[in-house]
Structure 1
Amino acid sequence: MSSSSVASGLSPYGGSTASAIRDAREREKKEMSDLNDKLASYIEKVRFLEAQNRKLEADLKMLQGRAGKDTSSIKIIYETELTTAKKVVSDTGRDKEGLERELRKLQEELNEIRKKFEEATRGRADDRLKIDELLVKLSNLEAEINLLKRRIALLEEEITRLKKENMRLQSELQRCKTELDQETLNRIDYQNQVTTLLEEIDFIKRVHDQEIKELQALAARDTTNENREYFKNELANAIRDIRNEYDQMMNANRNDLESWYKMRVQEIQTTSARQNMEQGYAKDEMKRLKTQLTDLRGKLADLEGRNAMLEKQIQELNYQLEDDQRSYEAALNDKDAQIRKLREECQALMVELQMLLDTKQTLDAEIAIYRKMLEGEGNGPGLRQLVEQVVRTTGINEVADTETMRVVKGETSSRVSYTRSAKGNVSIHETSPEGKFIILENTHRSKEEPIGDWKLKRKIDGKREIVYTFPHDFVLRSGKSVKIFARGSGPHMPPESLVFDHDDSFGVGANVQTILYNKEGEERATHIQRSSQTAS
């Protein structure tokens, strides 16, 4: 791992990925702006078609009053409307193909981003492996440092022991020196004693010589040769015995003194040599231990510096990994939000396309009916039946407009879409986004609708379901509406307003479906509300 990547806080791959994600987001924002423009144009087309539909309804009412007059002008009008509707359908088909191409393109970009994210995830796994390896190395270094610390402690203990041993040896050496001095004094004393003994021997020898001379003088005064010879032999024997005795005594004392002196000198020399050897060994061991301690302290300082550097690298790698993970997760969340948004918009476009197709089918049915009328199959009761059939067909396939609202505040954009449909005269005109009320409307101008025991079911995000049942004898007048309030949200004033006593709200969610069922359980009207929030 290079020091530059660690110092920057972001790996080169993470930087390139972040720049690619930013470019993709800018491109997608531009594409979303284009899609919003296209959606606005589609809404304008839908409103134009609704206006055309209302115009056709007015023309139909006019035809009901005229009963088959001016059929040639009507044929021209409907042929023109048919041509326009076909053109709109073909344009819508082309726009749908373009949107599908855009969707495929966005899907490919999403796949590329997912690949990049997978590569980043693999890089993150590799980084984690490297971090694990560094942690293992760090633990090994820490174990080695602890071992060195223990060895240093043992060496310090050994040094302390050697110091104590050195002090003991020095005290022993001092004691030996004292003993050597004492032995030297003893040797001098013994030498003095030997000298004294030698002097005594010389003195005794002189005394004996003097006695011998005196004896010889006495012997010389004896005139007898035998006596002289006898005394002379006795004197010689005595002198020889005395001399031999003194020689033996002197030799014995000399040998004893010399042997004792040699033994003490050898003992002192041996003790001194041993002490000198032990002291030299202790000095060498002290030098070796001091050198080893210095080396170990240097190694310990190097290992501590390396340990601090590795800990710093691990901390920086953890920070970098967390930053990369947050950036990748944020980018993935943005992409998922954009994909959900595009899917919702595509779904809304599909709904609008379905509305256009339903409108086309209605126009085709009306054109077929008017063609039959123009071909002269009859008027009067047969024409009224055909007109009623057109009215029923239009009522069944009626789809309310889809309203798209975008609110931008800070960095958050909110989009809410509504889809309404009705099979008959009673439709769900409006629902409160906060779940406070629901408004039903009778679109027929002259016919009342008995909706007693009908049920309003409201499904919130496919999980929660709220059901409201109308009173048994409730009738919705023609051209009027009724507002059903949640508990505590409005007054109970039939037939203009009713109150749902079982709940304080009709529910709030991202996907809310409100469905009206008759007594037989048939679906008569629907209102679908979808909302989404994305970070821009």
Structure 2
Amino acid sequence: VQIHRLPSYHCTSSSSTSSSSTSSSPPPPPDSPGRRLSFRSTHGSRDMSLRITRYTGAQSCHPVPKVRAAVSERGAAITAVTFNSSLLTPINVSVDPTIQVVRTQEKEQIKGLNNRFASFIDKVRYLEQQNKMLETKWSVLKEQTDAASNIEPMLKSYILGLEQQLDFHNQEKQRLDMENSVMHKNVDDYKNRYEKEIHMRTDAENEFVMLKKDVDSGYMSRVELDDRVSGLAEELDFLKTLYDTELRELQESLKDTSVVVEMDNSRALDMDQIVAEVKAQYEDVATRSREEVERWYKDKFNQMSAQAELNSDEMRNTKAEMAELKRMISRLQNEIQALKNQVVSLEGQITEAERRGEDAVKEARFRILELEQALQKTKQDMTLQLKQYQELMNVKLSLDIEISTYMKLLEGEEQSHHSVWMSFLLSLSFLRRCHLAAVFARHLFGQGYEAGAGHLTVHLTDALPQTVLLWSKVGRVRGLHPGLSL
């Protein structure tokens, strides 16, 4: 149903006339006897006012300087509103004692209907706001999904960089382990050499001690031999003195004795010669013994001196080698300590790098987990919002179906019977006793509605878009659905 701005007519008819006419008379005053039914609805920027009034006296048709309601469907031509004049015939109005009670009830029912229409309009507005909010959330979630998809390659590249750093640190660790093993081998080699030199030094010291013992024993032998030589020399001197004394005594004893010995072999005994020979023999033995002892001691001394010099040279060389080895050992110990410190530092760096790598990997995994959780939550929220949106769409569809039903109820009879629906509206004020108006209103607006007397007005205005307001003398009745128009 579409709303068109047309000239509005105030239509009246006499009891004996069934046709409608137009004139340029002004509209009747508001306090004139009769009943007026008017609707006000807004649809975009269109303003439509339909005013239907029934008068108790003779009626005529007056043009109203407002708008006329026309109904067109699917681009159909505009059709003027026509009424069944038989329904506009005056009726016998009698005073009903319960009219005030009925009017009060109708007023209360109209108020309740007005409140229901207002709540229905508020609900529609709320649903529209929720729809817009869901569309906004949907667009934001789409942007967030795109952003998440952009973050994922960044995270993958960051993780790849961390893995490359981890591989580099692993290779560096392997290289340092190889260097460390080489250093340990060198240290073991130097340690073996040092132990070998220590053994050589110990052997040299032991040999030196043995040689010193030999020198001491040779020196003691020499001293003993010197003592023996001096003793033998003294003994030789003593024997010489003794022999000389005996020889002198013998010569003195034989000086005064003359012995004549005659032998047959005619051999003479030369004692001087014998003594000289014995003396020469002993002297020769003593000389040879002394020379032999001196030569032996001299050879032994020379041999010991040479051996001592050789041992001294070897000792000096050994001391020099020991000093060199000590310096080398000290240098190697310093190098080993430096290498150990370097190894400890490198191990600390490797541990720190591994820890940083593990922390980075853990942080990346935690961020990935957070992003996955956020993505999962976003998907769940999106699913929930889609579900809510689907529910809202279902509600909207049901409302559209209800609106379409109302529209068909409103316009179906117009197209088929030419304003039968308007006749119903005109008859609402006359059928309050039999409650047909209440039945129609319940079907159209819900439970709790009953027709009543008074002026009903529907106004279309731009002040409240997509809202149809139903008014009467007692005030606002209710707002129609935004899709409903006249």
TM-score tier, shorter chain, comes to: 0.3 to 0.5
Instruction: Point out the structure with max Rg over C-alpha.
Output: 2
TM-score normalised to the size of structure 2? 0.43
Which has the larger strand fraction? 1
TM-score normalised to the size of structure 1? 0.40
